[in-house]
Amino acid sequence: MTIIADHPRPERAGILHLGLGSFHRAHQAVYTAAALPAAGGDWGIVGVASRSRTVVDAMHAQNLLYSVATISPDSTSLTIPGVHTDAFVGAEQPERVVSQIADSGIRIVTLTVTENGYSYSAATQHLDLDDAAVRADLGGGAPRSTIGQLARGLQARASAGGAPISVLSCDNLSANGAHTEKLVREFLQALPQGEGADALTYLDQAVTFPSSMVDRIVPSTTPELRARVSDLLGARDEIPVPAEPFTMWAIEDRFAGGRPAWEAGGAVFTTEVGRYEQMKVRLLNGTHSLIAYLGALHGVATIPEAIGLDDIARAALSILRSEYEPSIDVPSGVDIRAYETELFERWGNSALGHRTTQVGTDGSVKLRQRIPEPALQALARGEMPHLIALTVAGYLSCIAPLRGFDPGAHATAMTDAARERLGALAATARTGHELAERVISELQLFGDGLAGQDAFIARVGELIDTIQRQGVGSAIADAVSASRTSASSPTIAKEMQP
C-alpha cells in the first residue's frame, strides 16, 4: 500500500524551505497543510536539505509524502501534510538554491537551519567573514553557506525583475528576522566593487524579513516509531516524524508577496514576536537545557525521566520562577502560570521519549542565546542566578569534564562544535574555577557581558567542583537552596508535574 495525503497536493510551489529536517516537516509543513483548504493559494513547498540525502531520497520514494505522529501518553495520531512539491540537497545543487530564490513563483523563503547555520561571529556581532564558506561565497561560484545562498539568490532575483519576496527565519535567534536581514545585507556590502548595490536597493523596496517564534518538541525518529507508524498506516513510512501535541507559531505579519493562511492551523500573527521569543527561548529552551545536562549527569536517558526526579523538578521550577521569569515581558493574553504548568506536562510526556543527549547537543550555540541576558539582569539586581550558573556548570561537566571525572554515556554522546576546544581547556585546568574562567572570561563562550562577571564565574566554578567531587545531586541541592525563589519547595514542584 502507498501513503495517501490528507489533502490534495498544491500544484505549484510558493515557498522554498532551507533545512528539510524533522522540525520543519512537523511544524511549518503542518501549518501550511491546514492553510491550503482554508484559503487556497499556490503555497506548495520545495524542501532543501542542507547535506544529507536520507530524507530527500525517502520523500521521492514515497511520492514526497510522510507522516507526522502526534504522541501523547494516551494515544498516537497521524497526519500526512502532503504540501511538498519537490525536494533536493542544497550541497549537491547550490546553484539550484539560487535559481529557486530567483524564481518569481517563490514568494517566501523559510529557514530552519539551526543557530549554527547563520555564519554569525559572536565575537564581532557581524557576519563571520573569516568563515571559509562565506569567503568562498563572496569570491563567486555557487554559494554553500545559508547566508551566501540567500544573498546570491536575492541578487539574482533583483536582476530578473525583483518580484516581492519575504525571508522568514524559524530558528531560535533573538529578533531572527532582523538578524537574518542584517547578515544578508552585510554579505552584499562585502561583495567587491559595489557588486551588491542593486540587490541592496531591491531589499529596500521589495523584500521583508519578518520575525517568528516556533515551538514544538520533535524528538529523533527511532526504528520502533517507524514500525509503529507503518502498522497504523498500513503502509511503510521510512521517515515518520514524532512530535508532541503542543505546537505554537507566532509571526510578524510583514509579507511582501503574500502568505498562506497559517492562522487556520493556529498560528498567531502579532506585533509581540519578541515577547514570545523571550518566553520560549528562556522559559522553555533555557530550562530544557538545564534538565538535559542534569539528567545526563544523573545517568538518565530521557527528559521525562529527568523531570521525574524530585531534585531536577525543583531546579527546573526554581530557574523558571526566580531567574528566567523576571527577565521576560509576557505576551498579551498569555497566562504565565498556565504556560509554566504546561511546560512541565510537555517535559513529562513519557510517550515522546525526548532524549537528554539530543536536547544537550550544541550547547555552545544554544546557551549563548538563552542564558546571558537573564543572568546579567539578575546580577544587575544584585542577585546571583544560581540555577543559570548550574546550567553552565552542568554543560561544562558534560562536554568538558575535568580530568578524572566521567560524566556518563549520555553526556559523552552529546555533540558540540566547541567540544574539542573546551576539552583542551579542561585537560589542563586544575579546578572548576580555572575551567570556568578560561571558558567564560578568556574564550567568552557566552559573550563579553558575562566575561567580566567574576562572581558569576566563581559560582560556576564552585558548582563544577561540587558536581565532579560530590555528585550532581549535591550541586542541585546547593543551587536550589541558594536560590531566592520561594517556589522551589518539593511540594510545589510536584504540583507542577503531570
Per-residue pLDDT tens over the stretch 248-290 = 999 999 999 999 999 999 999 999 999 999 999 999 999 999 9
CB-based contact 457:437 (threshold 8 Å): yes
What residues contact residue 35 under an 8 Å CB cut-off, 6+ apart?
41, 43, 260, 261, 262, 263, 264, 265
Task: Please compute the mean of the pLDDT values over residues 288-305 and round it to a whole number.
Answer: 98
pLDDT at 3: 78
Task: Please compute the mean of the pLDDT values over residues 291-316 and round it to a whole number.
Answer: 97
Three-class DSSP category at 162? coil
First to last CA, the chain: 39
pLDDT at 491: 39
**β-bridge pairing 126-127 and 165-169:** unpaired
Mean pLDDT of the chain: 94
CA-CA-CA-CA dihedral for 383, 388, 390, 396, to nearest 10: -130
Query: What digits encode the pLDDT tens for the residues 478-487?
Result: 999 999 643 4
Task: Please compute the mean of the pLDDT values over residues 197-221 and round it to a whole number.
Answer: 97
Whether the pLDDT of residue 24 is over 50: the answer is: yes
CB-based contact 106:33 (threshold 8 Å): no
Structure confidence at residue 18 as a pLDDT band (50, 70, 90):
very high
CB-based contact 237:226 (threshold 8 Å): yes
Whether the pLDDT of residue 492 is over 80: the answer is: no
Return the CATH number of the domain spanning residue range 13-269. 3.40.50.720
Name the residue with higher pLDDT: 9 or 80. Answer: 80
Task: Please compute the mean of the pLDDT values over residues 126-131 and round it to a whole number.
Answer: 95
pLDDT at 1: 53
Name the residue with higher pLDDT: 174 or 106. Answer: 106
Task: Please compute the mean of the pLDDT values over residues 290-304 and round it to a whole number.
Answer: 98
Task: Please compute the mean of the pLDDT values over residues 183-212 and round it to a whole number.
Answer: 97
pLDDT at 354: 93
CB-based contact 70:38 (threshold 8 Å): no
Whether the pLDDT of residue 490 is over 50: the answer is: no
Task: Please compute the mean of the pLDDT values over residues 92-97 and round it to a whole number.
Answer: 97
CB-based contact 70:245 (threshold 8 Å): yes
Backbone angles phi, psi at 289, to 5 degrees: -60, -45
pLDDT at 498: 36
CB-based contact 173:266 (threshold 8 Å): no
Distance, in Å, from the CA atom of 471 to the CA atom of 477, rounded to the nearest integer, reads 10
List the domain boundaries for the chain.
13-269, 273-496
Task: Please compute the mean of the pLDDT values over residues 431-460 and round it to a whole number.
Answer: 97
Query: What digits encode the pLDDT tens for the residues 452-477?
Result: 999 999 999 999 999 999 999 999 99
Three-class DSSP category at 248? strand
> Which cell goes with 68?
507526522
How many of the other CB atoms lie within 10 Å of CB of 165? 25
> Which cell goes with 156?
539574482
Cα torsion angle, 179, 264, 344, 322, sign: positive
Distance, in Å, from the CA atom of 391 to the CA atom of 375, rounded to the nearest integer, reads 11
Distance, in Å, from the CA atom of 99 to the CA atom of 498, rounded to the nearest integer, reads 49
The C-alpha cell 550555540 sits at: 365
pLDDT at 497: 41
CB-based contact 396:435 (threshold 8 Å): yes
pLDDT at 238: 95
CB-based contact 29:43 (threshold 8 Å): no
**b/e burial code for range 314-325 (CB count within 10 A of at least 16 → b):** bbbbbbbbbbbb
C-alpha of 382 from chain center: 31
C-alpha of 288 from chain center: 12
pLDDT at 8: 82
Distance, in Å, from the CA atom of 461 to the CA atom of 482, rounded to the nearest integer, reads 15
Task: Please compute the mean of the pLDDT values over residues 378-400 and round it to a whole number.
Answer: 97
Establish whether domains 13-269 and 273-496 are of one fold. Answer: no
Query: What digits encode the pLDDT tens for the residues 48-67?
Result: 999 999 999 999 999 999 99
pLDDT at 484: 63
Distances (CA, A) of 204 to 110, 161, 256: 19, 14, 11
Contacts 24+ apart (CB under 8 A), 184-191: 184/147, 184/150, 184/151, 184/154, 184/209, 186/126, 186/127, 187/127, 187/134, 187/137, 187/138, 187/147, 187/148, 187/150, 187/151, 188/151, 188/154, 188/155, 190/127, 190/129, 190/138, 191/138
Domain covering 273-496: architecture = Orthogonal Bundle (1.10)
> Which cell goes with 432?
572548576
**b/e burial code for range 106-140 (CB count within 10 A of at least 16 → b):** bbbbbbbbbbebbbbeeeeeebbeebeebeebbee
> Which cell goes with 398?
558534560
H or E element at residue 233: helix 223-233
Is pTM beyond 0.75? Reply is yes
How many of the other CB atoms lie within 10 Å of CB of 216? 18
**b/e burial code for range 174-195 (CB count within 10 A of at least 16 → b):** ebbbbbbbbbbbbbbebbeeee
What percent of the chain has pLDDT above 90? 91
Structure confidence at residue 5 as a pLDDT band (50, 70, 90):
confident
pLDDT at 493: 43
Query: What digits encode the pLDDT tens for the residues 325-339?
Result: 999 999 999 999 999
Distance, in Å, from the CA atom of 186 to the CA atom of 131, rounded to the nearest integer, reads 14
Task: Please compute the mean of the pLDDT values over residues 295-304 and round it to a whole number.
Answer: 98
